Structure 1
Amino acid sequence: MLPGSTSTSARVARLRGRVGLYFVAALSVLAGMTDAIGFMATGDFVSFMSGNTTRLAVSLGAGELAPILRIGAVLLAFVVGNALGVVIARLSGRRPCPLLLIIAALLGLAALLPSTLQLPALVSAVTAMGMINAVVEEVNGLPIGLTYVTGALSRFGRGLGRALLGERRQGWRVQLIPWTGMFVGAVLGVLLEQAFDLAALLFSALLAAALGVISLKIPRRWQLRYMPR
């Protein structure tokens, strides 16, 4: 390969990575906003399944049937959402826009359902948050988690430890991007829920739809790299 083409490829890779990380940040804002709204309105986590797993164990220990069934439905919805996200992404040719529009529809449905149907609304929102994980799975080979940041903080911490030991490895700093996005989104979600209750999920739906439209501007080859087989 000629030196000029090598430098061009490197510039393209850097630009692809930068665009991907901006996209990840926006998706993380969406996830954090939705999780905060759902948690404040229903008392259940919408994307934080580690917390729901602990709550399920506590309910099992206490023998509380209703919470067991409710949290079990939430965990199942999240798994199904992840599976559907992969299937829809594959059927749509690994394009984020169709997936994000379906996510927007599910969040809109959750926002518009009457308060008497809180559990179906919660399941709809959780399914959407499961699906969002298929929108971006990696950026320039770095694994990305959109609805959970424990892994991101762990990878950042381990990278920091290696840096303190004098090892030079790339990519660990960017793990703070999904954490920051989720935190900012959660703050926005709190403010929105205080004003609109569960109907605040309409803002999540609008953001998901907007990101779907924005994703159309991302070069097709880059989309395929963000959504690997």
Structure 2
Amino acid sequence: MLPRSPSPNSHRQRHLQRRGTVGLYFVAALSVLAGMTDAIGFLATGDFVSFMSGNTTRLAVSLGNAEWGPIARLALVIGAFILGNALGVIVAARSGRRHWPLLGLIGLLLALAGLLPEALQLAALLAAVTAMGMINAVVEEVNGLPIGLTYVTGALSRFGRGLGRTLLGQQRLGWRVQLVPWSGMFIGAVLGVLLEQRFERAALLASALVAVMLALASWKIPRRWQLRYMPR
């Protein structure tokens, strides 16, 4: 009796599983980078680098108190984050939706943020914020599941809702993976604290190095998978 050849469906399932596994490992590493950068930036400058919900609340409080200096600073930070997201999409499109040009540019911005003198702290902050906006365009989804790299409130919300539906007996897939970006960001933030305590804002050079390492690692990701992680 001849052995059965694998069915097209089983081959497709294995392919999707491999693509999803690689994507989640990549998301975890990117989230570590985002957590590191946010913690370093916050400790070094007093402003959030990727947590725009917190910066929005702080902007509203400053407006209510008529604190014009913080208002201008926070408005620039939020604007830089929006600009970074837009630039990320543009660079991804112009590079044929490849990871390495985007991560390379993120690495350059983070290196600049770590090297600028103290007198140019605001410029350093804006460079780091722009980089964190751009990182959101590196991976937008994994096997159809939306992924947020610099904001984990949505991930925790999706995880909680998935847990609730599971407790109700509903079969929903993918909600557990939302803990991946949260865990990565938490671990990265702890590393960022330790680095900032030793190197202060220059610790952003470590973030730049991680970005460059991820750019190099992305060469190992099949081209067709990269297109799936970065949808149009």
TM-score, normalised to structure 1's length? 0.99
**1:106 maps to which of 109, 112, 136:** 109
After superposition, the C-alpha distances for 1:111-159 in whole angstroms (9 at most, x for unaligned) are: 0000110000000000000000000000000000000000000000000
* 1:151-170 aligned within 5 A: 151-170=154-173
C-alpha separation between the residues in 2 aligned to 1:126 and 1:96? 19
**1:216 maps to which of 204, 216, 219:** 219
RMSD: 0.8
**2:179 maps to which of 176, 179, 202:** 176
C-alpha separation between the residues in 2 aligned to 1:97 and 1:76? 25
Residue matched to 1:77: 80
C-alpha separation between the residues in 2 aligned to 1:99 and 1:58? 34
What residue identity is the alignment partner of 1:10?
Q
**1:35 maps to which of 20, 35, 38:** 38
Gaps of 5+ in 1: none
What residue identity is the alignment partner of 1:200?
A
C-alpha separation between the residues in 1 aligned to 2:118 and 2:11? 55
- Name the SS of the counterpart of 2:139 in structure 1: coil
C-alpha separation between the residues in 1 aligned to 2:107 and 2:120? 19
**1:95 maps to which of 93, 98, 101:** 98
* Identical amino acids, percent of aligned pairs: 74
What residue identity is the alignment partner of 1:216?
W
Ranges of 4+ aligned residues in structure 1 off by more than 4 Å: none
C-alpha deviation, 1:172, in angstroms: 0.2
Q: For the pair shown, which has the larger CA radius of gyration, 1 or 2?
A: 2
What residue identity is the alignment partner of 2:50?
S
Gaps of 5+ in 2: none
Q: What is the aligned residue count? A: 228
Residue matched to 1:136: 139
Residue matched to 1:19: 22
What residue identity is the alignment partner of 1:172?
W
C-alpha separation between the residues in 2 aligned to 1:58 and 1:201? 28
C-alpha separation between the residues in 2 aligned to 1:54 and 1:173? 29
C-alpha separation between the residues in 2 aligned to 1:75 and 1:99? 20
Residue matched to 2:202: 199
C-alpha separation between the residues in 1 aligned to 2:73 and 2:199? 24
C-alpha separation between the residues in 1 aligned to 2:20 and 2:198? 36
C-alpha separation between the residues in 2 aligned to 1:113 and 1:146? 26
**2:148 maps to which of 145, 148, 167:** 145
C-alpha separation between the residues in 2 aligned to 1:76 and 1:209? 25
TM-score, normalised to structure 2's length? 0.97
What residue identity is the alignment partner of 1:37?
I
What residue identity is the alignment partner of 1:146?
L
C-alpha separation between the residues in 2 aligned to 1:65 and 1:191? 33
C-alpha separation between the residues in 1 aligned to 2:183 and 2:6? 37
C-alpha separation between the residues in 2 aligned to 1:67 and 1:45? 13
C-alpha separation between the residues in 2 aligned to 1:101 and 1:77? 18
C-alpha deviation, 1:4, in angstroms: 1.4
What residue identity is the alignment partner of 2:140?
E
C-alpha deviation, 1:3, in angstroms: 6.2
C-alpha separation between the residues in 1 aligned to 2:96 and 2:8? 29
C-alpha separation between the residues in 1 aligned to 2:118 and 2:68? 22
What residue identity is the alignment partner of 1:192?
L
C-alpha separation between the residues in 1 aligned to 2:6 and 2:14? 13
